[in-house]
Amino acid sequence: MSTISAPGTDVPPAEVPDYPMTRAAGCPFDPPPALHTLQAEAPISRVRLWDGTTPWLVTRYEDVRALLADPRIGSDSTHPHYPHQSPAAKERRRQSRTFITMDDPEHARLRRMVTAAFSIKHVEALRPAIQKIVDDLIDAMLAGPGPVDLVQAFALPVPSLVICALLGVPYADHDFFQTNSRILVRSTTTPEQARAATQLLLDYLDRLIGDKLTHPTDDLLSTLAEWVRAGELSRREAASMGMLLLIAGHETTANMIALGTLALLQHPDQLARVSASDDPKSIASAVEELLRYLTIVHSGRRRVAREDIGIGGVTIRAGEGVVLANDIGNRDPAAFPDPDRLDVDRNPRHHVAFGFGVHQCLGQPLARVELQVVYSTLYRRIPTLRLAVGLDQIPFKHDGTVYGVYELPVTW
């Protein structure tokens, strides 16, 4: 067993519990019960990660939010005590580092290069095109026989088609990029597998950016190519940013579509409220509640303290790793009354499913519009939508840094 490597602690390694990541059998929508216990009894305490390191785990909503907004805490993944999520995540960050694991001012400089494409104004203009994508996929599903796997037939294609159009990536290559993304978000992937998948994606995006340098089009990879031409970005940095946007742009939203549908099918009273509503505000609110309830980016926001920080009776020393557990933060009764109940009529807009602070999700306006279109269309157009297998036969992504389902067999 390895020794504690973080500075400033005298806690013997044997007394530090493993970071509880696995959800209890039969409760696929709820964070692990051990996280509830920690939140109630030891809201800022040490946990052991896969590599034997023992960063702080923060579980209360107020503390998670306060620390995510605290400039004394950073996201620099090159720091020796950065608490990596898995061997694969560590390898990917080493090979392809971009602004999600950088601190300001570099983080802000790079993020600014792509923010316009994700502004509310720009994303709202895409709503009719997103509606058409959703309608066409439902038409295709209804034209064929059931049951179908909703993940392959609908949940993955919706955000993949959207992010491909936005970036200027050919959708015809979706098998290639979806397969390699999946390798990278699986916590059981070996460093060698992660290295190979990262290299394939970087080479692919580099080729596309090369094409955009000579034949620019109206898309985000062409914008990145412009920054390369202006000498503000290297080809490698541009490919890394393209890779981040391609992966984040489809993997997360796809899981929210499939897992959100499953959660609603398991809560028929809530599903009835969503499918009966034609009020965009109610649909938007239901989306926020599903984001809170499911918190699919569930493996904690990873940080390193840059200065000593006193919080909740403990001192996090400069240089120590910190994991901010936004999944259990979103189930904190102090922030959300009766937090384990899915209630599409509550207004939980203050949730931290998209993170908080300077690294708060860049793509959230896009994810919101996609989910609003999906949730307001799918159950209205297929009112008899139901599971084609028992809940116990659904393969959940217990091994993923993003939570969801691998398959969702449905019929109607």
Q: How far is the CB of 292 from ligand HEM (least distance, A)?
A: 10
Select 38 or 258, whichever has its Cβ closest to ligand HEM: 258
Give the CA distances from residue 71 to residues 38, 239, 329, in Å, rounded to whole numbers and listed in that order.
Answer: 25, 28, 20
3-class secondary structure, 156: coil
Per the listing, tokens 């597998």 go with 193
Select 233 or 256, whichever has its Cβ closest to ligand HEM: 256
Q: Site residues (CB under 6 A) for ligand HEM?
A: 75, 99-100, 111, 244-245, 248-249, 252-253, 256, 296-297, 301, 353-355, 359, 361-363, 366-367
Q: How far is the CB of 102 from ligand HEM (least distance, A)?
A: 8
Amino acid at 277: S
Q: How far is the CB of 95 from ligand HEM (least distance, A)?
A: 17
Structure tokens at 121: 């104004």
Select 16 or 113, whichever has its Cβ closest to ligand HEM: 113
Select 6 or 366, whichever has its Cβ closest to ligand HEM: 366
Select 164 or 228, whichever has its Cβ closest to ligand HEM: 164
* β-bridge pairing 321-324 and 314-316: unpaired
Residue nearest to ligand HEM (CB): 363
Q: How far is the CB of 106 from ligand HEM (least distance, A)?
A: 11
Kindly state the DSSP code that residue 17 receives in the 8-state scheme.
Answer: P
Cis peptide, bond prior to residue 55, ω within 30 of zero = no
Cis peptide, bond prior to residue 147, ω within 30 of zero = yes
Q: Give dist(CA 28, CA 392) in Å, integer.
A: 10
Q: Give dist(CA 239, CA 262) in Å, integer.
A: 35
Q: How far is the CB of 184 from ligand HEM (least distance, A)?
A: 14
Give the CA distances from residue 391 to residues 124, 168, 395, 409, in Å, rounded to whole numbers and listed in that order.
Answer: 35, 38, 9, 10
Range list of H helices, 101-219: 106-112, 120-125, 127-143, 150, 157-167, 174-184, 191-214
Task: Report the first-to-last Cα separation within the chain, whole angstroms.
Answer: 52
Select 16 or 28, whichever has its Cβ closest to ligand HEM: 28
Select 339 or 363, whichever has its Cβ closest to ligand HEM: 363
Q: How far is the CB of 345 from ligand HEM (least distance, A)?
A: 20
Q: How far is the CB of 75 from ligand HEM (least distance, A)?
A: 6
Residue among 355, 325, 401 nearest 87 (CA): 401
